[in-house]
């Protein structure tokens, strides 16, 4: 049984799951937090191959749904806003679920910046120069390596981020609603100028556990958070 004090954040790694399970768990965590059943949670998550559209997006407009069906790529809607995300098992998701007063005060924009700066500081420990880019991205040398987004539900916050550990740009373009005639070397090169991955920057993909640890260290250092690892509480397991 995991023991922690009131100020500790419980770090859970829920492993590789289908997109619908990850989305359902987000809703369960929000409800349990609002009812005071769980401590502040820092969750690491991974997805079986999937395409996630933002809360206000139309899957038909953003994704090549025929290709997704052919390839068995799950399509799900996130609770948070923003653009479409393409997930596969090589990438890491991270999220914070807490009451608003567990983090520094300020409006959502300033809080997003503080969280992104903490994540960027952690990623920089890997030897890359990661930094916050308004509004909600983390970049390295002008190229996006992480997107983030958050929502408030009453006084409960869900804030999510990704880390592109590796990235298959041609496949990503096939999943997105990009006309087939535009899927050429120029399109791939254009995306590579705007998006990058840890593997592309470092020459090889770091171990996922290493990425987790540097992220936690960034949040310890920049937001003063205290962590204890454990399993999902019984209220949401």
Q: How far is CA 165 from CA 44, 210, 211, 226, in A?
A: 14, 11, 9, 25
| pLDDT at residue 128, as a whole number | 97
Rounded to an integer, the average pLDDT of 153-182 is 83
82 or 226, which is more confident: 226
Q: Which of 159, 157, 158, 162 is nearest to 138 (CA)?
A: 162
User: What is the model's pTM?
Assistant: 0.90
Query: What rounded mean pLDDT belongs to the chain?
Result: 89
Rounded to an integer, the average pLDDT of 18-33 is 94
Q: Is the pLDDT of residue 71 over 60?
A: yes
Q: What confidence tier does 187 reach under pLDDT thresholds 50, 70, 90?
A: low
State whether residue 73 is helix, strand or coil.
Answer: coil
Rounded to an integer, the average pLDDT of 28-46 is 96
Encode burial over 27-49: b for 16+ CB neighbours within 10 A, e otherwise: ebbbebbeeeebbbbbbbbbbbb
For the chain, domains (ranges, CATH) are: 8-225 (3.30.930.10)
- Distance (Å, whole) CA 26 – CA 175: 24
Q: Which of 157, 211, 233, 179 is nearest to 4 (CA)?
A: 233
């Amino acid at each position: 049984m995991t023991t922690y004090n009131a100020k500790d954040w419980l770090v859970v790694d829920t492993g590789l799951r289908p997109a619908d399970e990850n989305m359902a768990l987000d809703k369960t965590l929000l409800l349990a937090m609002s009812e005071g059943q769980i401590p502040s949670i820092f969750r690491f998550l991974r997805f079986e191959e999937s395409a996630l559209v933002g809360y206000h997006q139309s899957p038909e407009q953003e994704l090549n749904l025929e290709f997704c069906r052919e390839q068995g790529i799950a399509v799900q809607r996130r609770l948070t806003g923003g653009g479409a995300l393409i997930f596969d098992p090589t990438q890491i998701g991270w999220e914070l679920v807490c009451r608003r007063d567990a983090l520094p005060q300020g409006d959502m924009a300033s809080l997003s910046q503080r969280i992104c700066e903490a994540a960027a500081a952690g990623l920089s420990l890997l030897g890359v120069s990661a930094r916050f880019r308004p509004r909600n991205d983390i970049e390295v040398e002008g190229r996006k390596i992480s997107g983030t987004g958050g929502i408030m539900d009453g006084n409960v916050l869900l804030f999510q981020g990704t880390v592109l550990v590796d990235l298959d740009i041609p496949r990503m373009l096939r999943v997105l609603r990009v006309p087939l005639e535009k899927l050429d070397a120029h399109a791939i090169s254009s995306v590579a100028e705007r998006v990058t991955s840890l593997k592309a920057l470092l020459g090889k993909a770091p171990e996922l556990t290493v990425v987790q640890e540097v992220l936690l260290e960034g949040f310890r250092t920049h937001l003063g958070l205290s962590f204890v690892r454990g399993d999902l509480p019984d209220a949401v397991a």
